[in-house]
Structure 1
Amino acid sequence: MSTLERLPITGTTRDLDLGAAAGPVHESVLDAIGSTPLIRLRRTASHLQAAVYVKLEQNNPGGSVEDRAALWTVRRARADGSLPPGGTIVEGTSGNTGVGLAVVGAQLGHPVVVVVPDGTSAEEIAVLRAYGAEVVVVPGGVPRDDPRHVHHTAVRLAAEIPGGWLAHPDDDPDDPAAHRETTGPEIWAQTQGRLSTFVAGVGTGGTISGAGEFLKSVSGGRVRVVGVDPVSSTCSGGDASSRAVRPGVLDAVVPVEDRDALLTGRRLAREEGLLVGGSAAGAVAVALREAEGLGPHDVVVVLLPDPGRSPSSKNLNDTWLRRNGFLEGGVERPVRDLLPAGALDAPGPISLAADLTVGRAAELAAGQGALGRTPLAVVLPRRDTRRPLPLGDVVGAATLAGLRHLVRDDPDLAHVPLREVADAPLPHVGVGQGADEAWTALGEFPAAWVLVDGRVAGWVRRARLDQGRTPEDGP
């Protein structure tokens, strides 16, 4: 008799006798949250003595580690009465948390309202609506203290909706608790207490704080807990959202460059059959480095929070990687070879904050040695001026000659914000793109920014790209 024929139609999970080779049987989708597998990196980590495993959180029903915290926090709110029966769950998010809450809300009978910034992809919004969530789109570029901000909008809606409940206030203790009670114990049991190092993205702090706290405690402090942070986030000196990392849990916070993360993700897909997002790939890059000094009895586990199969995921697209300066080699006459020696060694083009007046911008550009028609980047005000510009900060272009011409023709324009008179942003080409492809990307523009690792490292004029094109391309 087959396994399926032995299933009692009216039985419970306690009645089933499926054998060791069969998968679990659950009474609801909520029972499938957690108990995610560990998978060993056989090829990517083949040069190491230590065993390196990834914990595949994309196997949760909603596709990410956020399912755990969503279930935990909703159950707690139902138990203490802060979320009444049939009450509305409200969340402000641009990530996977909204999906996790939508999954839980659908199963437990709670309407869900998710507030997202306007940069959220159409695909992500469609997924939320497919689960039955109401999606409220708000401006994404406003400061946190602006009443239109995602968080403030969610707070307001939770107060206005009868029976409304804000899922994740700033001081929410449930996110770390969910991982202290589920993720950490799972990893310890799966590694049979042999775990040496636990690596995870810092994120908002909940996952690594909760799981790390448990692993530190159960191992008597033996397990090393390593947080991974993109170079542009708070822990590494940037301006990301606030963190909630528990003091004493992390042994180290390691910054990871975009190039390392993206190229590691590319390797995981090709060598291990794993599609992961950029943050997960960055965590693996750090885990591989952490494992280099370990021995054959050591075990490293790195948590992968979500998959990389989203239509908005570009880290697996070679064309995107090359166009944004992350991938080089394999093309004839790359942009790098067409630039003057040392052109990309400087900090990048001169940048001017968009809220400067035109007169002040011209003064600053001249003081920094700008030539008359050299492209100047008009940027959002930023805290970190030491690194080349992130492309996303560039909102326009200008030249010193153009600014002076404006003021000469209309002196009143000297007092107008630069953003109001700046030209459209220049197109961009990657340092590893071929001349033919880069020339096409220029369109009608006379020049383009040159990207290295997603940042504006220089610029190139159309005439230089013309020099590298094949003769048959024509004028």
Structure 2
Amino acid sequence: MDFSKNILETIGNTPLVKLNKIVAEIDALVLAKVETFNPGNSVKDRMAVKMIEDAEADGRLKPGGTIIEGTSGNTGMGLALVAIIKGYKLICVISDKQSKEKMDILRAVGAKVVVCPTDVEPTDPRSYYSVSKRLAEETPNSWYVNQYDNLSNSLAHYEQTGPEIWKQTDGKITHFVVGVGTGGTISGVGKYLKEKNPNIKIWGIDTYGSVFKKYHETGIFDENEIYSYITEGIGEDILPKNVDFSLIDGFTKVTDKDAAVYTRKIALEEAIFVGNSAGACIKGLLQLKEHFKPDDVVVVLFHDSGSRYVGKMFNDDWMRERGFLEENVTKAEDVIKDHIDKELIVVRTEELVSHAIERMRKYKISQIPVVDINGFVGSVDETDLFRSYVADKNVAEKPIKEVMGKPFPIVKLGTPIEEVSKLFTKENDAVLVDLQNGHHHIITKYDIIGSIK
């Protein structure tokens, strides 16, 4: 009989799959190392086992102990599998930018999840680095994994992932492209491949808001480059010990939008349902296309499963809110189609300014059309009301007709977006759309900006 003694024995030997449509403009053979076939659905299963086994061997992790780690979710999943099989407790410290799916999955496999704010310095006591260290100090019989500086991370990929790729490509690989977070995968695989053939090029995919690319090119750790970003699993605001920059031939940066868009493209064009960093890798690969020749064999690694991003990159509303959804916005109706059923908030000429202010607060809006029995006769916006208040503190008790401005222009549903945009001026901050059923909708500057791709 052919069976595994436990789930950990199924880790590794993931398939190499030829990419076709999504890399059509690349003149080389492009193969994806699809790490979702690991039992925890990510590449992190490999190093989770290695780090725990090495810690057991040298006495850092003792029987019945508690494993503590700061993770973007995937390492936590790998650690959870090992913890279950080997009888350890697990505490995962995760940043609040990670998907809800990742947090729910970690809880489902028995981990305690502690959520920390993303947009704080690594040294901030609230950061997931700091909280992880503090919990390790406070928890009896615990071991802090520290995947960033734990060199068992890169060693796992030197011993497993690198040899697999070399064997699967029959030693013909010419380029390895991978997202860089902790640095374990790129450094471990890169070290093995370059020992086999020093001419193999190792490319890292970075994200805007991360320090890797500039540091590699200049040796400067530029804190001005550090800011919050959406892409998960790659990029850092620290320099992990696992990142061996001497093994990396170059980096290319990918925007949050491109990473999200290409994550969806991989599923739609290659039928491979993978995560956010895979999208970044494919866009980065396309940005590097001039480096590849027809006889090259390019391997790109897909880190994790798309199931962990169903509420994010694979959710139209989430994508639309961030301006990531590739929609063709050409007419007025395209701008308002997602909220066309919302009631138009208005104020009447004889109502008081205080009524308009209250409506702005309640509905979180900045412009309101003014109506009387004949229709639209004026408008008010928060800037005008503020100026009126500065000039006269009693303005709140005056009727709207005494402070209102000109009525907003009215356009038809089919009006080209270029024509709508021209109606916005210093004096006019909104446009009304005639819905042709006796009702109207409003378009603001914010709506126009949100439609820009």
What TM-score comes out, normalization by structure 1 length? 0.65
Report Cα offsets for 1:438-467 as digits up to 9, x if no partner. 9xxxxxxxxxxx9xxxxxxxx999x76644
Amino acid at match of 1:171: D
Question: Is 2:40 the counterpart of 1:44?
Answer: no
Q: 1:325 pairs with 323, 326, 329, which one?
A: 323
SS at match of 1:302: strand
Structure 2 counterparts to residues 176-255 of structure 1, below 5 A: 176-219=154-197, 221-236=198-213, 238-239=225-226, 240-244=236-240, 245-255=243-253
Offset at residue 47 of structure 1 (A): 4.1
Is 1:100 the counterpart of 2:78? The answer is yes
| 2:313 paired with 1:315 | yes
Matches of 2:48 and 2:239, distance apart in 1: 18
2:159 match: secondary structure: helix
Matches of residues 275-294 of structure 1 in structure 2 within 5 Å?
Answer: 275-292=273-290, 294=292
1:314-366 Cα deviation digits (max 9, x unpaired): 3234444344223444455159999xxxxxxxxxxxxxxxxxxxxxxxxxxxx
| Aligned positions of 1:103-142 closer than 5 A | 103-142=81-120
The aligned residue for residue 471 of structure 1 is 436
Q: 2:4 aligns with which of 23, 26, 36?
A: 26
Letter matched to residue 250 of structure 1: I
Change over 3 Å in CA distance of 1:280–1:119 after alignment to 2:
closer
Amino acid at match of 1:195: I
1:232-263 CA distance string (max 9 Å, x none): 21225631421332131111111112333233
Instruction: Please state how far the C-alpha of 1:162 moved relative to its aligned partner.
Output: 2.1
Distance 2:52 2:121 in 1: 29
Pairing of 1:422-441 with structure 2 (within 5 A): none
Q: Choose 1 or 2 for highest CA Rg.
A: 2
In structure 1, C-alpha distance between the alignment counterparts of 2:267 and 2:210, rounded to whole Å? 26
**C-alpha distance after superposition, 1:161-216 (max 9, x if no partner):** 22100011653212111111111111111100000110001112221111111111
Shift of 1:274: 1.4
Name the amino acid aligned to 2:283.
A
Query: Within 2, Cα distance between the matches of 1:132 and 1:183?
Result: 27
Residue 51 of structure 1 contacts residue 299 of structure 1 at CA under 8 Å; is this kept in 2? yes
Work out whether residues 208 and 227 of structure 1, in 8 Å CA contact, stay in contact via their aligned partners in 2: yes
CA distance, structure 1, for counterparts of residue 206 and residue 168 of structure 2: 26
Which residue of structure 2 aligns with residue 378 of structure 1? none
User: Mapping of 1:368-447 within 5 angstroms?
Assistant: none
Tell me how far apart the structure 2 counterparts of residues 294 and 117 of structure 1 sit (CA, whole Å).
Answer: 37
Name which of structure 1's ranges 237-246 and 159-168 shifts more when overlaid on structure 2.
237-246
Partner Cα separation in structure 1 for residue 183 and residue 276 of structure 2: 17
Deviation at residue 132 of structure 1 after TM alignment: 1.3
Separation in 2 of the partners of 1:313 and 1:460? 38
Superposed displacement of residue 403, structure 1: 10
Secondary structure at the counterpart of residue 246 of structure 2: coil
Summarize the alignment of residues 329-344 of structure 1 with structure 2, pairs less than 5 Å apart. Answer: 329-333=327-331
Gaps of 5+ in 2: 215-224, 227-235, 337-364, 368-381, 394-412, 441-453
Aligned residues: 351
TM-score (norm 2): 0.68
Partner of 1:355: none
Q: Quick one: structure 1 residues 465 and 333, their matched pair in 2 at CA, closer, same or farther if it must change by over 3 Å? A: farther
Deviations 1:252-282 (A, max 9, x none): 1111123332332232111110122222111
Taking every aligned residue pair, what percent have the same amino acid on both sides? Answer: 38
| Alpha-carbon distance between aligned partners in 2 of 1:78 and 1:266, rounded to the nearest angstrom | 40
CA RMSD of aligned residues (A): 3.5
Equivalent residue, structure 1, for 2:48: 70
Distance 1:43 1:169, change over 3 A: closer
